[in-house]
């Protein structure tokens, strides 16, 4: 899931995370370097675009962790030209910085808060999970534990969103309803997964997920 975000958000879902060596050259990608290597090899093995392989891994990863079945489209064109640097919010970004960065890319505050719910199945560099059920995408655990500071660890950026005026009620809503989060996450993930691509030229393979 993180690889999908890091490939798309800087500009386009085009496989440049792997093909332009962004995974190796940029500090924010250090943790996902092993994933990049595997996905790059699989794209060659199965003769598909690297961009599609990254998004396939995300879609199946979400499903494997008990999340919603997300949209899965194929037909993205690969690029070995790097996307712009400095586009990703950091783990310490305040809420205003995150909201501004996402708005610039066409995402609402609801999209932003929904997407960070993927951290429910994530771990820190110190191998501490972001909630008490790291193998499951469960919004009713992740969101409450973050705001209540009861998770094994949290990102400063997530805690900031959980308390900010513009996002705290959205955060609370996802913590109260898995169904609400599932719907919002599916839409936000779908929007993200086609960044920089012409939707009319993509083929919907969502039934495979």
| Same-domain pairing of 78 and 121 | no
Report the pLDDT value the prediction gives residue 125, as an integer from 0 to 100.
79
**pLDDT tens digits, 164-183:** 999 999 999 999 999 999 99
Report the pLDDT value the prediction gives residue 177, as an integer from 0 to 100.
99
Distance CA 77, CA 186 (A): 23
Report the pLDDT value the prediction gives residue 77, as an integer from 0 to 100.
97
Percentage of the chain beyond pLDDT 70 is: 100
| Same-domain pairing of 152 and 132 | yes
Report the pLDDT value the prediction gives residue 91, as an integer from 0 to 100.
95
| pLDDT surpassing 90 at residue 22 | yes
| Same-domain pairing of 184 and 197 | no
Alpha carbons within 13 A on the beta-carbon side of 18:
26
| pLDDT surpassing 90 at residue 90 | yes
State yes or no: is 6 an active-site residue.
Answer: yes
Domain hosting 160: range is 95-189
Average pLDDT, the chain: 97
| Same-domain pairing of 6 and 49 | yes
User: Which residue among 6, 26, 76, 119 is the active-site one?
Assistant: 6
Instruction: Determine the average pLDDT of the residues in 71-98.
Output: 97
Report the pLDDT value the prediction gives residue 17, as an integer from 0 to 100.
98
**pLDDT tens digits, 11-21:** 999 999 999 99
Instruction: Determine the average pLDDT of the residues in 28-55.
Output: 97
| Same-domain pairing of 102 and 175 | yes
Q: How many domains does the chain have?
A: 2
| Same-domain pairing of 101 and 173 | yes
């Amino acid at each position: 899931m993180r690889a999908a975000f890091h490939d798309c958000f800087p500009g386009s879902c085009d496989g440049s995370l792997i093909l332009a060596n962004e995974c190796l050259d940029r500090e924010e990608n250090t943790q996902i370097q092993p994933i990049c290597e595997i996905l790059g090899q699989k794209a060659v093995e199965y003769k598909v675009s690297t961009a599609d392989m990254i998004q396939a891994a995300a879609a199946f990863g979400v499903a494997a962790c008990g999340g919603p079945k997300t949209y899965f489209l194929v037909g993205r064109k690969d690029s070995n030209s790097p996307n712009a640097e400095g586009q990703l919010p950091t783990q310490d970004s305040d809420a205003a910085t995150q909201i501004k960065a996402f708005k610039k890319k066409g995402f609402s505050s609801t999209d932003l808060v929904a997407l960070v719910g993927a951290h429910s199945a994530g771990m820190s560099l110190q191998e501490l999970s972001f909630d008490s059920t790291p193998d499951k995408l469960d919004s009713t655990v992740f969101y409450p534990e973050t705001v209540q500071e009861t998770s094994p660890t949290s990102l400063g950026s997530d805690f900031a969103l959980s308390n900010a005026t513009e996002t705290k009620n959205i955060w609370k809503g996802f913590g109260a309803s898995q169904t609400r989060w599932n719907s919002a996450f599916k839409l936000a993930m779908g929007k993200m997964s086609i960044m920089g691509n012409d939707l009319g030229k993509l083929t919907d393979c969502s039934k495979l997920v």
